[in-house]
A and B are shown apart, each in its own frame.
Chain A
Amino acid sequence: VPVFPWHSLVPFLAPTQSD
């Protein structure tokens, strides 16, 4: 049975650091 890490489930929504 595969086990998935918790952080796969929520998105990375880091803004692009342009400023």
Chain B
Amino acid sequence: TSPHGSPSSPSAGLPPFFMKGSIIQLADGELKRVEDLRTEDFVQSAEVSGELKIDSSTVESIECSRTPNAVIIQFSVGENKAQVCVEVLVEYPFFVFGQGWSSCCPDRTTQLLALSCAKLSVGDVCISLTFKSLK
């Protein structure tokens, strides 16, 4: 048994791969730590993958959610500027083009994941994915 009585990981509620030091495999097989990823890594991986496409998703609004520690982010996705809402924890990191990891509450992200983050703001352009075959 744990002396601290804390069975959950510090990243409870977030996927484990956002934890600083997590090993990420790019589409060409190269391994990088999550904190070392750059915009080009995502762009090149999508090109290599064949079936995935990178979309530019602009943050249109960030609103409080009824869920504790959560926010509702509205994105304008891709060339068609489709409006998509997602509800995420305030510490959930998104990858902003040319800037890197960003979350609504960077202090909390850093505290929980040790991942350095910028503040996600309205107007930021995040990397998102779609399937190429969708027409």
Determine if A10 and B127 form an interchain contact, defined as CB atoms under 8 angstroms apart: yes
Q: A6 CB to closest chain B CB, in angstroms?
A: 5
Interface residues of B in 32-57 (CB under 8 A from A): 34, 37, 41-42, 45, 49, 52, 54-55, 57
Q: Tally inter-chain residue pairs, CB-CB below 8 A.
A: 75
B interface SS class: strand
Determine if B18 and A9 form an interchain contact, defined as CB atoms under 8 angstroms apart: yes
Determine if B130 and A6 form an interchain contact, defined as CB atoms under 8 angstroms apart: no
Give B contacts to A, CB under 8 Å.
15-18, 22-27, 31, 34, 37, 41-42, 45, 49, 52, 54-55, 57, 75, 77, 80, 82-84, 86, 94-95, 126-131, 134
